[in-house]
Structure 1
Amino acid sequence: MAYIDNPLITVIIPVYNGESFIEKCYTSINSQSFKQMEIIFVNDGSTDNTEMIVQGLCDVDPRVRLVSKANEGQGIARNVGIDFARGKYVSFVDVDDKLPPHAYESLLELIESSSADVVYGLSAGEGSTEPILPIKTGRFEDESSLSYLSGLIVGGLPEDKEDSMLGMGANRALFRREFLDSYGIRFLSERLVNSEDMLFNMDVLAVCKSACLLTKVVYTICYDANPQSYSKRYDPNRLETFIRLRREMMDRVKHWSRFRGFEIRVERRFLANCRVATKLAVFSSGSLSDRLKDVEAILTNPRYRGSLATYPISNLPLKQRLFFVLSKLQITPLVFALVKLRYGRGLQ
């Protein structure tokens, strides 16, 4: 494999105590139809056998590299991966997820043929059918079309069925590394904001000269693979990280003309995040009394109440409208019961 020292794609995989998922993740990447890549596992201060397992992969596959560092979180680990990357393009994979076999081949063909700074594909849950979305695809290179693409990621309008058409994940994309470096685009720590992917994508879309959208699933989210992942755990500070995310998003909307009029989209995203925080509180491991108090703390948060007071809730889809009306009225037991009825034990 003469191309090992000149990879076209760098796949960056942050790992914290991921010993149970590493080999399955590696197999998914190794099974790609495209092979000219390097695979960087960034060991983020793991205390399990992560380092030993990755080192074993390095011994049998010269494309695999191990970078170990102190624990700082996924966003910072991704940044370290970018700094070590040698590929023309970079991609990000969570260790408990996987890729369809032709993901990189499809993304690479489009980004190479279009000379775009970034190409996005679709993501789907494991076992899901490929979604059919009523959206424009192809190459976006003027202000109007780039603003349109940005809107699909940042958040929906009040009358839209979905909170966003494409979601915030950076995992379903291929980024031109020279472009990221030239603008110094990097991730913030998810310990400060939730989600760091959204801000990374906004920073990319604010300054890119061209972007592409491929309506093909290129990333598989394994929702049930890791019940201990942060996205499934209740954290009493989560709402505050969502509030910081809202503030960071609003700052970008004010700064970049490409995001003009996106305030309503940011609010839709924030309300969706508040719904997630409520759901996680309802299904946390605390006593019923404690969980009710946690939900009440969310419903009485001043920032959340401010958004509920000004957002056109009546334009939202029926189920969301009911949830936010009850939240606005601060009827904690009914909000709690509604979440239990809607989601059962599931958190998706």
Structure 2
Amino acid sequence: MPPPVTGVPLIDSPSVLQWPADNPPSLATLAEPTANRSFDFHASIDRCDMVLVSSGNYHMALRELWFDVYLKKYVPGLKNWYYTTSPPLAPALIQSGYLSVDNLAARCRPQVVVGPASEIDALAALGAAEGPRLPLHTSRGNVILVKKGNPKAIRTVWDLGRADIRVVTPNPKTEQGTFANYSGSIYDIAAGDPAPPKGANARQLYNAIFNNGEIKNKWLSGSRIHHREIPWSIAHGQADAGVIFYHLAFYLAQSFPELFEIVPLGGTVDKPQPLPGNRTATLYATRVGGDWNAVQLNAREKLIEAFSSEDFTQILQKYGLRRP
């Protein structure tokens, strides 16, 4: 018989952000912190009554609209649905009719897609979009997200070029639009600064961040979902700072007040007034054409109604967004 175990193991698991869950905790869970997802749930889902595929940078506002407004007021009793909040998936999903999440297969086409104008235009070129696109919301510019206490004393975009500052961005290939927005804001804010640091200019700053071959790990990026990856890198990884949408930073500072702090790029944390060159972004919704049954068609139109509602306008304002 072996002796009693008296030691305590070191849990070999990376530090991950414990994101607020949309559903209440369950006694039965397959959450796996090392991967921050699960490979141990195997299933195939089809015959969905409602599917929304959406850009994810407003996920906090979408969650409240979906659970507190759409499901309760517009389609009570709707059972078979899912929505995604990630970089663009719509064209591939519409063409294949198949979405995989680890070992889960969802074989349902979306009835509604939300994304930037370029993604909606791509759907229209495929002949998938139906009817006019609906402008949903516009961001209120970008800010710099830093660790709590701002230990590197970062105050402006010029500080991002310092040799001791490591900058994290969206992946320039898998999230091209958002990368262009954030990196372009850095350049344009610097270019419009009437009093730049002595001897500095926007091109020099941009090269110091993105084209610096002398400083190892000066520029970092995530792989494909920046609204999860940028805060992780700042909280537990390599980065000191990242330019990010104001509404995302506001949500992060509220959700993890012990981890993050906001450096405004115009105005204040509570009242942003974007500096000249600080770019905004607008998302649009579009219907997807298909041979929908009555339940699916009703769910689609009710979601468009919910997106257009005063309820959603108030939710957007709550999370630092505005109507176009």
Normalised TM-score (structure 1): 0.25
Normalised TM-score (structure 2): 0.27
> If each structure's strand is expressed as a fraction of its own residues, which one has the higher value?
2
Identify the structure with bigger relative contact order (alpha carbons < 8 Å, sequence gap 6+): 2
Higher-Rg structure is: 2
